[in-house]
Amino acid sequence: MIRATSKSLFGPYHFQGVALDPSRHPWATQAIHNPKITKVGNKYLIYHLGIPQWKTGFALADSIEGPWTPVPYPVISTNNPALLIRPDGSAYAVGKFKPKVPRDGKWDANMQAFEASNFMGPYKLVHDTLNRLPGNFELEDPTIWWANNQYNVICTDWEAKVTGVQKSVVYYTSKDGVNYQLFSQIAIWSQSDPVPMQNGETIQVKGIERPQVFTNEKGEVAALLVSVHPAEDIPTYIIIRPVKDFVPKNK
């Protein structure tokens, strides 16, 4: 996992160094995957999917520049985590899991929720082992934030059961962290739509991964970030799209 910096949220970003290396990690020795970063008190926290265990790992630092110290064991037993630290220091997380009994012969990517009285755990499953998403919808790569007195989750539509477009970005909300509602069947971002660029041109991408939001100091969503697979034979990269200070108003 690398660190890059920019004077602007929208780039350009410049490589600064390696933050976490699987060859020197205590247990995520094959890959440190899908990282996100947050601040907890005076510490910075990276949480990520660790492979080969396919569970959530933590790494802590006193500075955003590191050095980062990995926690020597998986902290949450979930795949592709999204973590929310509450004001009282407790934590809530959602992640992907595969049920023991498949529904359609594919990887049924259901959502579980976890919580802990302290961000370091132990994390316990919220409510039961059922899918937290309505309609047995499926997800990949969730991210979470708190606004309008509710949990807000965006993720990709794993098997196109919501929007009809596989891995388009969809949005769910929950007032209690147990029961989630789909905000709209219209995708927030879909690879079937051209992406407008700052120079006025558009590009077409063939795949979307890892959606994340950037919230400003007022708690408004100011940008949406995704990793894209370009239509051409060039490496995957990140697109950052500005959002006009979004705060959910649903009841």
pLDDT, tens digit, for every residue of 176-212? 999 999 999 999 999 999 988 888 999 889 899 999 9
Entry field: residues in the chain: 251
Q: Looking at residue 62, what is its pLDDT?
A: 98
Query: Are 138 and 126 within 8 A, CB to CB?
Result: no
Place of tokens 């929950």: 174
Query: Are 146 and 84 within 8 A, CB to CB?
Result: yes
The answer as to CATH 2.60.120.590 being correct for domain 78-251 is no
- Edge-first strand order for the sheet with 150-157 is 139-147, 150-157, 169-174, 181-182
The model's pTM is 0.94
Per-residue confidence band for 99, with pLDDT thresholds at 50, 70 and 90: confident
Q: What percent of the chain has pLDDT over 90?
A: 84
pLDDT, tens digit, for every residue of 34-80? 999 999 999 999 999 999 999 999 999 999 999 999 999 999 999 99
Quote the CA–CA distance of 202 and 27 in Å, as a whole number: 42
Which stretch of 93-107, 130-144, 148-162, 168-182 has the lowest confidence by average pLDDT?
93-107
Sketch the domain layout of the chain as residue ranges.
1-75, 78-251
Q: Looking at residue 135, what is its pLDDT?
A: 92
